[in-house]
Amino acid sequence: MPLLSVLSIVLVATGSCTVRAERQDGSSAAAIARLKVTSIPVGGEVDDLAAGGGYVWAYVRDTGMLVRVDQRTGKVRRIALGSWRGLPVVVAASQHAVWLANQHSTHPDLIRVDAASGRIVARPRVPGRSGPISGIKVAYGSLWILVPDAAFPPGWRLLRLDPATNRVDKTSAGIAGRQFTGHMALIWADARKIWVTGAQDTIVSLDPRSMAMHTTAIAGRSESLVFGGGYAWHLDHGRPSLAMVDPQTGRAIKTFAVPPPSAMGDDDVVAGTALLWVFRGSHLTLLSRASGQRAGSGRVDPLAGAFGSAALVAGRTLWYLAQASDGTWLDRVDIAR
């Protein structure tokens, strides 16, 4: 695949992370962990976060900058993608590449950036002409791409792209999508399956190899679900509860007690390897994923809105887009030792 010549690419020198705040907060009880928060400026609105190859990636729409943060050192590198400035995008990352999909195009528009050099190395051809890519995810050795389906009634298809060839090598059957609303469709990789959720009352799962599809009916829209550890998690925005849901049946297995909803509605949950991170406005609570017991808590800036993922967990560290009085920041939350 030839290099792109239509995009202006400028590499900005590597620098250390600029810290807005580094603070510790939490309960004084010995059993409750304290949280350490470090903030990194991003310089504008971010639509999605991704992690891969030891980095966290964020594309800043206002400036056209792709921000790369080293998860270990906190060093920041900014890569300018000139012709993509002002465009909303979704992002996915692997060990050696970061992928960006234009959310404003009338057809699927995807680029591949080399993680080490920051150069655009490919613009893979993605089948479909009925609208922009709705979501992307790197998992199980492939890039997964959700695109609108031109069939009637309208729906979606999931494409599997081989990073070794930059070509789509498998296409799913049609996914019913009459209730989808564009950017609200999400792709999850969990429990050796690919999951698709959105503004419809079903959970769709696919086998990564065969693309065999299973659809589970649920009560309510699946866009409110978060996946992790083989389960889906539903945070009640009206009550102080978090449900563990079996995604194969759509039924709640058990319910955990969490703080009450925030007045502003900036609430969400992020599922990590062993912990659940529950946002209730400016209050962040950590729960054991196994028992539901509180493991930590602290005051933080509220979670910002995003087309894709506004938060992710890498190891035992939470990264999220924070709403601050002076704009959006990328906050890193660690459990203080």
CATH number of the structural domain spanning residue 261: 2.130.10.10
In a domain, 3, yes or no: no
In a domain, 2, yes or no: no
* C-alpha dihedral, 286 to 287 to 293 to 295, nearest 10°: -30
In a domain, 298, yes or no: yes
In a domain, 323, yes or no: yes
d(CA 37, CA 327): 17
In a domain, 203, yes or no: yes
Range of the domain at 216: 9-335
pTM, entire model: 0.89
In a domain, 174, yes or no: yes
Cα distances from 171 to residues 143, 199, 257, in angstroms, run 12, 22, 41
Domain total of the chain: 1
In a domain, 4, yes or no: no
In a domain, 1, yes or no: no
One digit per residue, pLDDT tens: the chain, 337 residues?
443 333 333 333 344 454 444 444 443 333 577 899 999 999 899 989 999 999 999 999 999 999 999 999 999 999 999 788 888 899 999 999 999 999 888 889 999 999 999 999 999 999 877 788 889 999 999 999 998 887 656 678 899 999 999 999 999 987 776 544 444 678 999 999 999 998 788 899 999 999 999 999 988 888 889 999 999 999 999 999 999 999 999 999 999 999 999 998 789 999 998 999 999 999 999 999 999 999 999 999 999 988 888 999 998 899 999 999 888 999 999 998 6
